Structure 1
Amino acid sequence: MPEFIDDSTFGTYFETFERTAWRLETRRGYASDRQSVHWARWKAGEDVSRDPTSAWRENIQRQTAAGKKIERIRLVDDPPTEGQLFLLARAPSNEAVGEDMRNMWRADAEHLGLPALDFWLFDDHRALVLHFDEADEYLGAELVEEPTRIAELGQLRDAAWPHAIRRRDFAAQVASSV
């Protein structure tokens, strides 16, 4: 079992990075989403794309206003899972504060050889690999600073990013297929 960071320090990685924070999300759903008030509102048919500000979005806005990049790719199954549809619906809130949200069909990710690994990569010298159990419950984040492993994560980013589709365009593809 990997050694996890103290979760109380998780947010500091998003305050102290210098240039880029990049995320790959590969899970079909997250227990924390299903347990949120936003999920219940979305399930009730409410628009959850423009929720009120949060500490997360306030920080993202500060970081992007300072010229830093925050980018994310979410893998999506065909057809999308309920959790993936929820995340597509929520993404405009993050985009509104400067996060570059993209998606990729899981089959395309598999063709590229992307592993089922959720992680954040910061400035090409530090990463947080997120661990989950079979029920999609978050177990913890493993800090990675070993140069060879960081280089591997950077190669995954470099392979995936050119093939990722902007969230708005991807959402249109999903809507036309449903």
Structure 2
Amino acid sequence: MGTPLTNERFENLLTAAANSAVHLESRDAYMADASFTRWQETGVVAKDANDEWWISTVGKAVERGVRVRRARIVSEPLSSYSRWLWACTPSVNLAAGEVVRWLPRHRTAGLVIPPADFWVFDSSVLVWNHFTGDGEWASNEVTRDPALAELCSSAFESVWERAVDHQEYRPV
């Protein structure tokens, strides 16, 4: 199924992007990490080294003119993990220059959405993100298949049109 999308591999893909990078997240929980656990215990959002790397890496792409957008499909009421993501978004994603929107799952009726999370770079490079049932990373697949990249780009845009900007979205 592929090798992990390491920071280095992701950075290479983002560096090669000239115009856009879009990311669709559709799970209510992913692998737990120390930052999430700390937030559960204290309610405090604390950035770690990976967050700083993200802000720097994505920030450089945005500075060169790459539009980085992330859409999150979420069940309401939000899971603890999704609440944590919402709390972290200003200090990590928005700080990096991403534009983030949220789409409540009940508003997805009629949309055709791939069953796995993905990234699409410049509407031509597609990265599938596969997770286990409990949210742990399983694998990634990178493809340059134009039909699949277009399918996912179109799915992303349909979600994006319905989704609510992070600044306006209030967790339920």
**Which residue is 2:128 aligned to?**
129
- Mapped partners of 1:72, 1:7: distance in 2: 17
1:79-125: CA deviation from partner (whole Å, max 9, x where unpaired): 11111111111111210221101100011124323233200000011
One-letter amino acid of the counterpart of residue 99, structure 1: E
One-letter amino acid of the counterpart of residue 13, structure 2: Y
User: How much does 1:129 deviate?
Assistant: 0.4
The answer to whether the 8 A contact 2:19-2:67 is kept is yes
One-letter amino acid of the counterpart of residue 164, structure 2: I
One-letter amino acid of the counterpart of residue 130, structure 2: H
TM-score, normalisation: structure 2? 0.89
One-letter amino acid of the counterpart of residue 134, structure 1: G
**Which residue is 2:78 aligned to?**
80
Q: Which of 53, 56, 59 lines up with 2:54 in the alignment?
A: 56
Query: Number of matched residues?
Result: 167
- Mapped partners of 1:149, 1:97: distance in 2: 28
- Mapped partners of 1:151, 1:115: distance in 2: 12
Comparing both structures, which one devotes a greater share of its residues to helix? 1
Which residues of structure 2 form unaligned runs of 5+? none
User: How much does 1:21 deviate?
Assistant: 0.5
User: How much does 1:6 deviate?
Assistant: 5.3
- Mapped partners of 2:65, 2:11: distance in 1: 19
User: How much does 1:62 deviate?
Assistant: 0.9
One-letter amino acid of the counterpart of residue 43, structure 1: Q
1:29-53: CA deviation from partner (whole Å, max 9, x where unpaired): 001xx1x2211221123331x7366
User: How much does 1:20 deviate?
Assistant: 0.4
The answer to whether the 8 A contact 1:27-1:116 is kept is no
- Mapped partners of 1:7, 1:99: distance in 2: 19
Q: Is the counterpart of residue 47 in structure 1 residue 44 in structure 2?
A: yes
The answer to whether the 8 A contact 1:5-1:143 is kept is no
**Which residue is 2:20 aligned to?**
20
User: How much does 1:10 deviate?
Assistant: 3.2
User: How much does 1:18 deviate?
Assistant: 1.1
One-letter amino acid of the counterpart of residue 55, structure 2: R
User: How much does 1:66 deviate?
Assistant: 1.4
Tell me how large the CA RMSD over aligned residues is.
1.7
TM-score, normalisation: structure 1? 0.86
- Aligned residue for 2:123, secondary structure, equals coil
The answer to whether the 8 A contact 2:54-2:96 is kept is no
